[in-house]
Amino acid sequence: MKFKKHVFICTNQKPAPKKSCGEEHGLQLVEAFKQALKDRGLQIEIRAQRTGCLDACAFGPALVVYPEGTYYGNVQLSDVEEIVESHLVNDQPVERLKLPV
């Protein structure tokens, strides 16, 4: 496994009125995750990156953490530290943000 955890954050923008994760918000999330990992010196073993549609548009902004395949929805910038610290570092998924998939 190249990465201990690999986080894929949707940056897909669909034309309104379709709900989608949104390029701007998605990219802000990507940058926030990258920075939080860098702050902890974890950017080599844990990767966060942008991705296309994760098939969870109605629950966006969405992301998935592998290898577990944990989907999170309605993720805000203020949630990034909690996901990093609880899930990525300590292997405790953030239940309140998990999607029932």
Residues in contact with a second copy by the rule CB under 8 A = 1-3, 6, 8, 11, 47, 49-56, 64, 66-69, 71, 101
Q: How far is the CB of 11 from a second copy (least distance, A)?
A: 8
Asked if residue 93 has a cis previous peptide bond (ω within 30° of 0), the answer is no
In whole angstroms, the minimum distance from the beta carbon of 55 to a second copy comes to: 6
d(CA 20, CA 47): 23
Residue among 49, 58, 52, 47 at smallest CA distance from 20: 58
- 53/78 with CB nearer a second copy: 53
For a second copy, the closer CB: 15 or 78: 15
**Smallest gap from residue 25 Cβ to a second copy (A):** 15
Whole-number minimum distance, CB 54 to a second copy, in Å?
Answer: 7
DSSP-assigned letters across all residues of 33-66: HHHHHHHTT-TTTEEEEEES--S-GGG-S-EEEE
